[in-house]
Amino acid sequence: MKIPVMIVNEVVLFPNTEYRIETNDKELENLIHTIEESDTRSVAIIHSLDGESRDDVLSFPSIGIYSMLSFKLMVPNSKIRAVFGCYRRVYLSNYEKINGIYYAEMKEVEEKIDKQEENRYSTLLLRSYEKYVHYVSSVSNAMLNQLSGILSLSSLTDSLAMLLPIEIKSKKKYLYELDVVVRAKNLLEQLKEEMSLAKLEHDIDEKVQKELDKEHKEYFLKARIKAMSAELGEESVKENEIKKYKNRLKKLKCNRKVRERIKDEIRRYESASSSSPELVMMKDYIEWMLSLPWEVMTKDVTSLKQIKKTLDEKHYGIDDVKLRILEYIAVKQNSKKERSPILCLIGPPGVGKTSLAYSIGESLNRKIASISVGGINDEAEIVGHRRTYIGALPGRILQGMKKASSNNPVFIIDEIDKMRKDMRGDPASSLLEVLDKEQNSHFQDHYIEEAFDLSNVMFIATANYEEQIPMELKDRLEIIHIPSYTEYEKLDIAKNYLIPKALDEVGLTTLQVTFSDSAILSIVRYYTKEAGVRDLGRILSKILRKIVRENLEGDTVFLREIGEEQVEKYLGKRRYTFYEQEEKKQIGVVNGLAYTPFGGDVLPIEVTYYQGKGNLILTGSLGDVMRESGQIALSYIKANYLEFNIGKWVFDRDIHIHVPEGAVEKDGPSAGIALTTALISSFRKKEVPSSIAMTGEITLQGRILAIGGLREKILGAYRAGIKKIYLPKENKKDLEEIPDEIKEKIAFVLVSNYQEIEKDLFS
Ligand code: ADP
């Protein structure tokens, strides 16, 4: 019988297997197609003898495998997938090619075998294979089970021949060997060989594994030892720490309760495992407890004379301030028990509040703690966070105490007027607990948890604005105002304090450089605009640094005296004008006076009006109180329009009041009379000289009420060249504070009712 032939060279197939291909080879497709079309769908699969040829009949074997196409599928990318079942050995002869396909004559092979022999060999083979599998970990026991299920020796030998990892050449031998017993015998040999190989491999593996294990073991042991010794080391570090803590605790001055608490904490730390995440927190807490000055006190200087001397050395003038401070200290010394109020220094920036507070500390020989509470809106900043809070710390008060390292320092609390209140709490009330003598002997910080005695602390607060200090705090404060300085006071401060300090800083002496008075005054007038002397100090230092540099570069020898011209040389063009009020007369423009962080300043107020419905427009970043002042002024004028000689038309005009420099916020009632005057000047088209200024609150009846910050305002007016100021009669006593040199230059008109101004200016 003729049968198509398929040549397969990549693998050696045996009966009782499957052959799967996927191909787009045209010849092969043609062959598969032909097989599919045939009745029997059968094919003889052969392996060419040389393992390569596909077209050389001489290399085609005489034995092939009778197979049948069991499955065919066209898959995407135009390939054919086919599966053949391979069944039995057949003889093949007379190969010939027809239409591109080889055909051969096929004859059945008959396998004869004695049943007993078959069983014997089957058992032998399976046993042998079982042993082999034992050494080859890659062969699974499932395979062994499958083989045990094979009944014929022929099939068993074929399966084994296929499974064993032997060369293709050897496999072919098994395929072409028709005597089953010989196949079995050979396979037994083969298995033995394979087994000894596998055993060898297995032994080697085991040895290598042992070696590796040994190495591993050593490695692990070493790692273990390392870890243990690290642990031991850490333990000893911890032990060391505990020893140190205990020593510190012995020396710590504190009460029994605190001591017990620290002892407990050290014990807790001692028993905590070194991997405990709380360890750091415990350490931090113990550190804090051990470093607070629970009962450490410094001894005060008690001689008032001595204290005064130190204050004088550090600070020029402000004699009444110093006097009040001395009184305060005297009272404090006298009556230790009595609740003494907290000092609060109030004044514009740079007038020396903070430095005075430091000097008080120095003069008493106390340590100094200093915090700023400006912008604080969280009470935890004052009293700390509870320890359960991540990153918890004590509040600023105890932080300050730790830095001060004594429990009776001078404690400066800056910017007490700039605390804020929101949902996170009210820091002012926490601060109250700190400042209140009744409560502060057992001040409770949330982190520290043990009461700390603050009753020996001398608190000094500073602020810029009295009105902005929280009411409840203000009650506890002994308020001392430090006013802004006149230019002559600044001159003195510069000569006696700032210049020597600045010279010292750059390593010069008064023998090498001095400043003429006119130079200092010109710096004050044309290069600074401030209530205090902070900028003045900075600028003096700047000039001195430039002189030192020039000298090092060899450009100049030291100047003995710096005059006005040198000032301009070092500082460049003047930045501010001073006293240059050219006499102008304007309608609807009147100078008010304001109290700003730079001290006093002149605040021109402008008015205009036009046909409208009687509306009032106010611009220039005015606060509520100032807007109301504008409304009061206008109502007062409208109510008395006949007395003021203004026509009825005023009722149907829209009126616009503007206060220039719109970016600067302005508020307060003190512009009342200036607003009124600007309105009248505008309505009556009467000029007001620009050398006049006025300040005072106005009522609907035209009464003029007292205002605050007069000294600053007058100093501001003075530097702006104002020659006449209207002010409330009620402020008369404040004029006593005004330096004579200013009183000589400015005429003050005290008024209690607006009509007085009207008469003076407009009639
Ligand atoms: P404040 O706290 O009021 O803003 P500072 O205390 O910081 O002001 O003072 C600013 C600078 O001015 C400091 O260097 C200070 O020594 C100096 N100063 C202020 N007033 C005087 C004064 N009366 N005498 C000497 N130096 C002063």
Closest by CA to 460, choosing from 355, 377, 378, 383, is 355
Percent of the chain topping pLDDT 90: 39
How confident is the model over 588-642, as pLDDT tens digits? 999 999 887 667 788 899 999 999 998 999 998 888 889 999 999 999 999 999 9
Would the CB of 394 count as within 6 Å of ligand 1?
A: no
Instruction: Please provide the distance, in angstroms rounded to a whole number, between the alpha carbons at the two ends of the chain.
Output: 147
Residue 232's Cα: distance from chain center in Å?
Answer: 37
Closest by CA to 288, choosing from 265, 257, 260, 256, is 265
How confident is the model over 416-475, as pLDDT tens digits? 988 877 666 778 888 888 888 778 888 999 999 999 999 889 999 999 888 888 888 888
Q: What's the rounded Cα separation, in Å, for the pair 340 and 345?
A: 16
Q: How far is the CA of 598 from the centre of ligand 1 (A)?
A: 14
Phi/psi at 749 (5° precision): -115, 115
CB 476 within 8 A of CB 436: yes
Would the CB of 317 count as within 6 Å of ligand 1?
A: yes
- Bridge partners, residue 345, by sequence: 462, 480
Evaluate if residue 662 carries a pLDDT over 60: no
- Bridge partners, residue 320, by sequence: none
Would the CB of 198 count as within 6 Å of ligand 1?
A: no
Average pLDDT for residues 563-579, to the nearest whole number? 81
Would the CB of 534 count as within 6 Å of ligand 1?
A: yes
Q: What's the rounded Cα separation, in Å, for the pair 645 and 26?
A: 121
Phi/psi at 468 (5° precision): -90, 0
Evaluate if residue 340 carries a pLDDT over 80: no
How confident is the model over 679-720, as pLDDT tens digits? 999 999 999 999 999 999 999 999 999 998 888 889 889 888
Q: Which atom of ligand 1 is nearest to the CA of 414?
A: 2
Q: Which atom of ligand 1 is nearest to the CA of 536?
A: 12
Q: What's the rounded Cα separation, in Å, for the pair 661 and 236?
A: 69
DSSP state for residue 578 in the 8-state scheme: -
- Residue 138's pLDDT is what? 63
What is the best residue among 370, 534, 541 to mutate for testing ligand 1's pocket, by most ligand atoms within 8 Å of CB?
A: 534
Evaluate if residue 663 carries a pLDDT over 60: no
Would the CB of 690 count as within 6 Å of ligand 1?
A: no
Q: What's the rounded Cα separation, in Å, for the pair 627 and 575?
A: 32
**Taking the model in full, what pTM does it have?**
0.60
Sign of the C-alpha dihedral computed for residues 366, 369, 372 and 376 taken in this order? negative
Q: How far is the CA of 459 from the centre of ligand 1 (A)?
A: 19
How confident is the model over 98-147, as pLDDT tens digits? 988 999 999 998 887 888 888 888 888 888 888 887 777 666 667 777 78
Evaluate if residue 579 carries a pLDDT over 70: no
CB 747 within 8 A of CB 717: no
Sorted by where each starts, the structural domains of the chain and their CATH numbers stand as 2-108 (2.30.130.40), 113-235 (1.20.58.1480), 237-291 (no CATH), 304-481 (3.40.50.300), 487-571 (1.10.8.60), 585-762 (3.30.230.10)
Number of other residues whose CB lies within 10 A of the CB of residue 182:
12
Q: How far is the CA of 348 from the centre of ligand 1 (A)?
A: 11
Would the CB of 318 count as within 6 Å of ligand 1?
A: yes
CB 425 within 8 A of CB 378: yes
Would the CB of 352 count as within 6 Å of ligand 1?
A: yes
Would the CB of 499 count as within 6 Å of ligand 1?
A: no
Q: Measuring from atom 14 of ligand 1, which residue has the nearest CA?
A: 534
Evaluate if residue 526 carries a pLDDT over 90: no
Residue 283 neighbours by CB under 8 Å, 6+ apart: 241, 269
Q: Which atom of ligand 1 is nearest to the CA of 356?
A: 6
- Residue 396's pLDDT is what? 93
Q: How far is the CA of 107 from the centre of ligand 1 (A)?
A: 123
Q: How far is the CA of 400 from the centre of ligand 1 (A)?
A: 22
Average pLDDT for residues 259-279, to the nearest whole number? 86
Lowest mean pLDDT among 283-287, 340-344, 492-496: 340-344
Would the CB of 353 count as within 6 Å of ligand 1?
A: yes
How confident is the model over 190-224, as pLDDT tens digits? 888 887 877 777 777 777 777 767 776 776 666 66
Lowest mean pLDDT among 192-196, 366-370, 641-645: 192-196
Q: How confident is the model at residue 378 (pLDDT cuts 50, 70, 90)?
A: confident
Q: Measuring from atom 27 of ligand 1, which residue has the nearest CA?
A: 352
Q: How confident is the model at residue 555 (pLDDT cuts 50, 70, 90)?
A: low
Q: How confident is the model at residue 748 (pLDDT cuts 50, 70, 90)?
A: very high
Evaluate if residue 762 carries a pLDDT over 80: yes
Helix (H, G, I), strand (E, B) or coil at 563: coil
Would the CB of 374 count as within 6 Å of ligand 1?
A: no
Number of other residues whose CB lies within 10 A of the CB of residue 574:
13
Average pLDDT for residues 491-498, to the nearest whole number? 91
Q: Which atom of ligand 1 is nearest to the CA of 318?
A: 23
Tell me which range, 349-358, 553-562, 600-609, 748-757, is most confidently predicted by mean pLDDT. 748-757
The letter for the amino acid at 325 is I
Number of other residues whose CB lies within 10 A of the CB of residue 146:
12
Mean model confidence pLDDT for the chain: 86
Average pLDDT for residues 36-52, to the nearest whole number? 90
Q: How far is the CA of 497 from the centre of ligand 1 (A)?
A: 10
Q: What's the rounded Cα separation, in Å, for the pair 664 and 327?
A: 39
Lowest mean pLDDT among 86-100, 156-170, 413-427: 413-427
Q: How confident is the model at residue 581 (pLDDT cuts 50, 70, 90)?
A: low
Q: What's the rounded Cα separation, in Å, for the pair 316 and 311?
A: 9
CB 157 within 8 A of CB 17: no
CB 58 within 8 A of CB 17: no
Q: How far is the CA of 498 from the centre of ligand 1 (A)?
A: 9
Residue length, the chain? Answer: 763
Percent of the chain topping pLDDT 70: 93
CB 285 within 8 A of CB 398: no
Q: How confident is the model at residue 5 (pLDDT cuts 50, 70, 90)?
A: very high
Q: How far is the CA of 476 from the centre of ligand 1 (A)?
A: 25
Higher pLDDT, 512 or 414: 414
| Catalytic positions, written as ranges | 670, 713
Would the CB of 380 count as within 6 Å of ligand 1?
A: no
Average pLDDT for residues 25-48, to the nearest whole number? 91
Helix axes 396-404, 279-291, angle to 10 degrees: 60
Evaluate if residue 665 carries a pLDDT over 70: no
Lowest mean pLDDT among 116-120, 345-349, 658-662: 658-662
Higher pLDDT, 616 or 278: 616
CB 621 within 8 A of CB 666: yes
CB 44 within 8 A of CB 104: yes
CB 113 within 8 A of CB 119: no
Q: Which phi-psi region, left, alpha or beta, contains residue 327 (left: φ > 0; alpha: ψ -120 to 50)?
A: alpha
How confident is the model over 132-144, as pLDDT tens digits? 877 776 666 677 7
- Residue 220's pLDDT is what? 67
